Amino acid sequence: MRALVMTAPWTLAVAEVDEPAPGLTDVVIEILATGICGSDFHGFTGETGRRQPGQIMGHETVGRVASLGEQVTGLSVGDLVTVNPVLSCDACEVCASGNEQSCPNRTVIGVTPHIQSAFADYLTVRASNVVPLAAGRSPELGALVEPLAVGYHGARRGGCSDLDRVLVIGGGPIGQAAYLGAVRCGATDIVVSDINPARRELCAGLGARVVDPSAGELAGTVPDALGAPASLVIDTVGITPTLADAMTCSTLGSRIVLVGMGAPRVELGAFAISTEERSLIGSFCYSRVDFAETAAWVGTTDLPLDGLIDGRVGYDGAQASFTALANGTSRASKILVFPHGAPGPRDDGLGGDG
């Protein structure tokens, strides 16, 4: 079968690799589409060290069941499915508590170098991580379940409810997911901040109120938009300036959820946390329940999730799309890679069809 292999930093190549066969409890999935995550293209450059030459990346995926191990039940060949890429041990105290994303023994599809992942024609995964999708929706929406689960988990970590005034910092794919996660938790007073006009427009299309942080001090514009300072901030960028904005735009006793990992180290205003009793909450990935609930929600929501996908390429467009996303020249927010070629005219996020 064919796969996209990262042969060196900034370089992808289509290679022939062995076609997988299922073990007794495994499922082989024929991949329909896989999204390019920010962690993928930052790893592609070599800057994070989280992707290695020779690796097949990809973890935001959707496909159909191609074959089943002999002990697999509850799935059938042809089923439309997505994959929870967090492979927890399911035997430790952390897993027993329902926090599989924090399992000390976890591996992650698309991140762990030796795991053959989803930028390929086929993917083999244990059946417990295969999540069925509802029929009747566009199949490619299944590739959004993984990032949407990240945002939902962040909103839940912050205890988001209909009583909150919510600021989401960053309008990229995870910011979009955090906004939708807050909506799912019942919040109605939500503002999304992003400097990119295309991302503000995309978030507005989902129903969000949007602000441009470059147009003025957020400390004034956010309370104006929400009617008061935010009680919950979800920072999907994760750098010192955005955390500073989170402090100045939020009220006494507010919760600030750090989802973004834009820098390995940040500075914090200690007094803004201690004297005003804010809570700083970390959020990583999602639990198994969060992922399954998100997959079910994608199958039932009336919100225009199709608009979250603004680039579609085949293997032949992957190199250009990864490069453009990594160097900041792409206009796309979420690009899907289709092993059998993009449906319709190719859009690699560079502003033209190819």
Residue 291 has pLDDT above 80, yes or no: yes
Pairing of strands 26-35, 60-68: antiparallel
* Contact (Cβ atoms closer than 8 angstroms) between residue 145 and residue 291: yes
pLDDT number for residue 8? 94
2-132+310-338 and 149-282: identical CATH topology:
no
* Contact (Cβ atoms closer than 8 angstroms) between residue 222 and residue 193: yes
> What is the mean pLDDT of the segment spanning 85-106?
97
* pLDDT-wise least confident of 126-130, 259-263, 290-294: 259-263
Alpha helices in the chain (DSSP H): 38-44, 93-96, 145-157, 173-184, 197-205, 218-226, 240-248, 270-274, 288-298, 315-327
> What is the mean pLDDT of the segment spanning 243-258?
97
What tokens appear for 84 in the block? 């929870």
pLDDT number for residue 270? 93
Identify the band that residue 237 occupies on the pLDDT scale cut at 50, 70 and 90.
very high
Residue 354 has pLDDT above 50, yes or no: no
> What is the mean pLDDT of the segment spanning 121-127?
97
What percent of the chain shows pLDDT beyond 70? Answer: 97
Identify the band that residue 42 occupies on the pLDDT scale cut at 50, 70 and 90.
confident
CATH of 2-132+310-338, one of 3.10.129.10, 3.90.180.10, 3.40.50.300, 1.10.3720.10: 3.90.180.10
The residue ranges of every structural domain in the chain are: 2-132+310-338, 149-282
For the chain, the distance separating the N- and C-terminal CA atoms, rounded to the nearest angstrom, is: 24
> What is the mean pLDDT of the segment spanning 258-284?
94
Pairing of strands 60-68, 122-126: unpaired
The larger pLDDT score, comparing residue 30 to residue 342, is at: 30
Q: Alpha-carbon distance 126 to 104, whole Å?
A: 19
**Chain centroid to CA 58: how far?**
11
User: Minimal CA–CA distance to 336: which of 353, 319, 317, 311?
Assistant: 311
* The dihedral formed by the CA atoms of 118, 119, 122 and 126, expressed in degrees to the nearest 10: -10
User: Biggest alpha carbon distance in the chain?
Assistant: 61
Query: How far are the Cα atoms of 118, 126, 239, 284, 300 from residue 258, in angstroms, in the given order?
Result: 27, 31, 10, 9, 28
**Chain centroid to CA 280: how far?**
21
* Contact (Cβ atoms closer than 8 angstroms) between residue 326 and residue 12: no
Neighbours of 352 (CB within 10 A): 9
* pLDDT-wise least confident of 80-94, 306-320, 336-350: 336-350
* Contact (Cβ atoms closer than 8 angstroms) between residue 248 and residue 256: no
Q: Alpha-carbon distance 152 to 135, whole Å?
A: 22
Average pLDDT, the chain: 94
CATH of 149-282, one of 3.40.50.2300, 3.30.479.30, 3.40.50.720, 3.20.19.10: 3.40.50.720
Question: DSSP secondary structure string, 18-57?
Answer: PPP---TTEEEEEEEEEE--HHHHHHHTTSSS-S-TTB--
